[in-house]
A and B are shown apart, each in its own frame.
Chain A
């Protein structure tokens, strides 16, 4: 575990270095770029609030990917699940006339159900027909993309715009006045609390329950799990459903918390960022929380950086993408670390040969 933290930190450092090289190569000042980037995300209470708000959907999408990873599945369909979850919640939020305390839980449940529904399809195909979940969830992404595209247009279209849904009423958004005031007008919202609670719940399920243990066992070795009497096919479907439900909640947080309507015609990039968040967080719920906040910082600071310098905001996306490449090739970092350790050991031996340390002591140490 300790090793994983070092590897993730190395990936972050390499990503930031690569970002600096990129800024220098395109004729910008990397030092001022980074200082504006971090200032933009942390300068005052409002900006900190915005950073946390930007991180909120990433926490949930990252957790969705991480949960699937832990159970041996690669959920690359988070983007579609976010979209469908957000859409279902928006339809309910616009259609039901309930007080806020009732409406929000209903929306969260419906959103989770929408996301779960979208993820269950690849789960069932995997369990029943052994269809690889990566390909089927990519297909489900595009089916979801078009379903929401036409669903928004025919059910909840904004009368003044072709490409977005109606604004949600106050009672149907996760925005809370006290939270906005606390962070001096930031768009932070109750979604953050939802995300933190879900992180705790998932950490508990994965680490402390028989159910979580069974799901992990299937992920480690399908045949061994079956031999141990675990219903493998059912576990796969459950894993995908839970992963999709988390993503669906992410959609609610995105479209009924950070935003208050749905833009159609784009597959939300948060879905793919979830893969990066999960990798950097070593598929651990708390690691996911931290890495999502870090990515949230990069994303929320880039606007300020772009305003103060002429560095394009996509530098943040580039840094994140490079970090995920370094996480994917963590073996390279491991090798470097090992070589570093060996060199230190060699240095010690050299020191022995010069007679500075007692030889027997080092022999034991090796």
Chain B
């Protein structure tokens, strides 16, 4: 049993990280008052931008580590640029945010494969990725060492740092307070001198940056190949956001839960004690649990009150 846990733990964390950063991006967007179901598409954009960059740079600079980091950076930039489409539609034009998000998903899926096919013909881009390493000293700690500090990736620590900074910014900085106010009561925020539109732009752009980063991390850690989709992980991140009740630590717990659930479902066939469970149960588990959570939290939901509503300064 212990060896099984030790074996699947690094994979579960690996799978959790892209989900975590994307859900965290969604958190900033929704906390500012803009629902973003385009997370899936923004992840695809990040995945494409990341693999495109690494693919192009690796010819000139083979085996150089900074190429991968450059891939992540370009993915962040692409995510921000693309999220502006959603921001413009939902903030300036008061468009239906769900429809605009759906459009983002569709444009991302179609456009990236179109571009990738122009490059490689098949539409798939294979790239090298980060290598895992054992943290010196810390990996020798009993129990925690083998679980958390072995076979770990630099990206994992980067994202955990981003999580810590995000929590701080959201709850301890003026920026975070203003952002949250825009999602709860935009008119009060405006009256207090906050530029609601600007804050919402920031929220959506952060979600674009984080989702793009998440998409690129998938490619550069466990997937290794861009194929035009992230297989519903963006929607799962959205579920994690709700499950985590729009709080950073809640999102961390929810994504860890989904990360483990998915990893267990993926490896269940080779673990005797799990092979007896029909795989369908493990596969639908995260989604059914989210549905149940939606019902359970329906009375006490902490969803940002103004999320999804276009801000109309004339409406009091």
A residues adjacent to B (C-beta < 8 A): 22, 26-27, 74, 76, 121, 125, 129-131, 134-136, 138-143, 145-147, 149-150, 267, 272, 275-276, 279, 312, 314-315, 317-318, 320-322, 324-325, 327-332
Q: Which of B46-54, B112-120, B147-155, B199-207 contacts A (4 or more CB under 8 A)?
A: B112-120
Within 8 A of A (CB), among B190-239: 232, 235-236, 238-239
User: In the assembled complex, which residues on chain B have CB atoms less than 8 Å from the CB atom of A150?
Assistant: 278-280, 283
Q: Is the CB of A147 within 8 A of B284?
A: yes
Q: Give the CA-CA distance A74 to B96 in the complex, in Å.
A: 11
Q: Give the CA-CA distance A138 to B88 in the complex, in Å.
A: 24
Q: Is the CB of A26 within 8 A of B115?
A: yes
User: In the assembled complex, which residues on chain A have CB atoms less than 8 Å from the CB atom of B280?
Assistant: 146-147, 149-150
Q: Is the CB of A135 within 8 A of B110?
A: no
Q: Is the CB of A272 within 8 A of B117?
A: no
Of the candidates A74, A136, A321, A330, the one whose C-beta lies within 8 Å of that of B106 is A321
Q: Is the CB of B123 within 8 A of A317?
A: no
Of the candidates B232, B279, B291, the one whose C-beta lies within 8 Å of that of A136 is B291
Q: Which of B7-15, B55-63, B97-105, B127-135 contacts A (4 or more CB under 8 A)?
A: B97-105
How close is A38's CB to chain B, nearest CB, in angstroms? 19
User: In the assembled complex, which residues on chain B have CB atoms less than 8 Å from the CB atom of A27?
Assistant: 118
Which chain B residue shows the least CB distance to A330? B95
> Can you pick out 12 interface pairs between chain A and chain B where the beta carbons lie within 8 Å of each other?
A121-B291, A134-B37, A138-B238, A138-B239, A139-B294, A140-B287, A143-B284, A149-B280, A150-B278, A314-B110, A314-B114, A328-B95
User: In the assembled complex, which residues on chain B have CB atoms less than 8 Å from the CB atom of A142?
Assistant: 232, 235-236, 284, 287
User: In the assembled complex, which residues on chain A have CB atoms less than 8 Å from the CB atom of B98?
Assistant: 74, 76, 134
Q: Give the CA-CA distance A22 to B102 in the complex, in Å.
A: 20
Which chain B residue shows the least CB distance to A325? B103
Q: Give the CA-CA distance A147 to B282 in the complex, in Å.
A: 11
How close is B259's CB to chain A, nearest CB, in angstroms? 16
Interface check B188, CB cutoff 8 A: no
User: In the assembled complex, which residues on chain A have CB atoms less than 8 Å from the CB atom of B111?
Assistant: 22, 314, 318, 321
Interface check B94, CB cutoff 8 A: yes
Interface check B166, CB cutoff 8 A: no
Interface check B109, CB cutoff 8 A: yes
Which chain A residue shows the least CB distance to B88? A329
Given A272-B102, A322-B107, A332-B93, 16 more pairs with CB closer than 8 A:
A76-B102, A125-B291, A129-B295, A134-B98, A136-B291, A145-B232, A146-B280, A149-B283, A150-B280, A276-B106, A314-B113, A317-B114, A318-B111, A318-B114, A321-B111, A329-B100
On whether A272 and B291 interact (CB within 8 A), knowing A135-B238, A329-B100, the answer reads no
How close is B193's CB to chain A, nearest CB, in angstroms? 27
Q: Give the CA-CA distance A321 to B114 in the complex, in Å.
A: 12
Q: Is the CB of B93 within 8 A of A272?
A: no
Of the candidates A74, A143, A318, the one whose C-beta lies within 8 Å of that of B107 is A318
Interface check B298, CB cutoff 8 A: yes
On whether A321 and B107 interact (CB within 8 A), knowing A135-B239, A328-B100, the answer reads yes
User: In the assembled complex, which residues on chain A have CB atoms less than 8 Å from the CB atom of B88?
Assistant: 329
Q: Is the CB of A312 within 8 A of B284?
A: no
Which chain A residue shows the least CB distance to B236? A142
User: In the assembled complex, which residues on chain A have CB atoms less than 8 Å from the CB atom of B238?
Assistant: 135, 138
User: In the assembled complex, which residues on chain A have CB atoms less than 8 Å from the CB atom of B105?
Assistant: 272
User: In the assembled complex, which residues on chain A have CB atoms less than 8 Å from the CB atom of B104?
Assistant: 325
Which chain B residue shows the least CB distance to A312? B117
Which chain A residue shows the least CB distance to B111? A318
Q: Give the CA-CA distance A315 to B280 in the complex, in Å.
A: 35
Scoring A135, A138, A328, A332 by chain B CB atoms within 10 A of each residue's CB, the highest score goes to A328
Which chain A residue shows the least CB distance to B282? A146
Q: Is the CB of A143 within 8 A of B288?
A: yes
Scoring A26, A138, A139, A147 by chain B CB atoms within 10 A of each residue's CB, the highest score goes to A139
User: In the assembled complex, which residues on chain B have CB atoms less than 8 Å from the CB atom of A325?
Assistant: 85, 89, 100, 103-104, 107
Q: Is the CB of B94 within 8 A of A317?
A: no
Q: Is the CB of B114 within 8 A of A312?
A: yes
Within 8 A of A (CB), among B272-290: 278-280, 283-284, 287-288, 290
Interface check B80, CB cutoff 8 A: no
Q: Is the CB of A138 within 8 A of B284?
A: no
Which chain A residue shows the least CB distance to B104? A325
Q: Give the CA-CA distance A27 to B117 in the complex, in Å.
A: 13
Q: Is the CB of B284 within 8 A of A320?
A: no
How close is A194's CB to chain B, nearest CB, in angstroms? 26
Interface check B242, CB cutoff 8 A: yes
On whether A135 and B294 interact (CB within 8 A), knowing A142-B232, A279-B99, the answer reads yes
Q: Give the CA-CA distance A121 to B290 in the complex, in Å.
A: 13
How close is B211's CB to chain A, nearest CB, in angstroms? 16
Q: Give the CA-CA distance A142 to B291 in the complex, in Å.
A: 12
User: In the assembled complex, which residues on chain B have CB atoms less than 8 Å from the CB atom of A329?
Assistant: 88-89, 93, 95, 100
Of the candidates A121, A139, A315, A324, the one whose C-beta lies within 8 Å of that of B114 is A315
